[in-house]
Chains A and B, each alone.
Chain A
Amino acid sequence: MVLRKILIVFAHPALEKSRVNSKLIEEVGAIEGVTFHDLYELYPDMDINVKAEQELLKEHDLVLFQYPFILFGMPALLKEWMDLVLVHGWAFGRNGNALKGKWACHIVTTGGSKASYSREGYNRHTMKELLVPLEQIARLCGMRYLPPYVIHGTNVMKQKSIDEHAKHYQAMLRMLADESFDPASRDAQEYLNERFS
């Protein structure tokens, strides 16, 4: 099996209180081809080492941004990371093609149900719509954008369900790490989750 190298850019400001994300990442280190990159642990002062981050990105084929959805967006440090690392002349612009052809995907956990993220629902927008700026960032950098991998209803989730999600997540990572698997293989679906069920 040829490996597709996966970088998980992980941003959780309070992992010590997390139930779902902490379970998801529990055994992530054991999956071959996956680099787990914990931003809040690495840069507690937001003092991001840009050069090192760019080198890391270059070494990987697929970038997964994983975080809890906070006020319809990502945690502050991840935004800071994007602002600093994905700069003109490197990630985009005339000579900026360092990320061209790589895959990008967002793994999002949220307390709201799937139904609440719809036109009729409480949040009035679908997840895809709320992630539009991130889709655009990926396109700007010439990356291939995958639909988001979303876990809904995390606030009231039972342990058994969390365990199932963790298994599913790990299976997804294993498949993505296989070079022969085409992430875009099936028809565009709303969530990436559906491709691995």
Chain B
Amino acid sequence: MRTLPRTQHILASGLVAGVGLAVAYLSYTQEPRDAFLFPRLISTVFVVLALWTFGKAVLGRTKVGNGLTGAELIRILPGLIVALVLVYGSAKALGFYTATTGAFFILISLYDPAPHGALRSWVRRLIVTAGFWAVMYGLFAVLLNVFTPREIFF
């Protein structure tokens, strides 16, 4: 169990160090020079701190952060996938209200402790979802007058 967070820390800090190095490389190579003066300054500090963190992770001396367990990842993944599909796909393709209401229903069903076999709990989920849709439509379409993408549905 002790090696899992260490490997994760190496991956996470390695990723941050990689971003830092890329930012520093771009800052020092892009033109015009004056536009990258401030990014050069901060990217230098960024790289130093990121490499320090990466070095500590490699040596196994990271003390802060528990990483993620496999069980946590399994619990997170379904919800995260629904959220990512909503934002990067269905909101634009189906329309904001349809996609968000659909995502809401899937999420409350996925994470509901109530039994999935009981008809009553499905009815309750549908009522809660309808309430959510009404509140969101009332707030954003009627009150704030935000014109969201309606696309193929609504």
Is chain B a partner of chain A in the same complex?
no
**Chain A residues proximal to chain B, CB less than 8 Å:** none
**Chain B residues proximal to chain A, CB less than 8 Å:** none
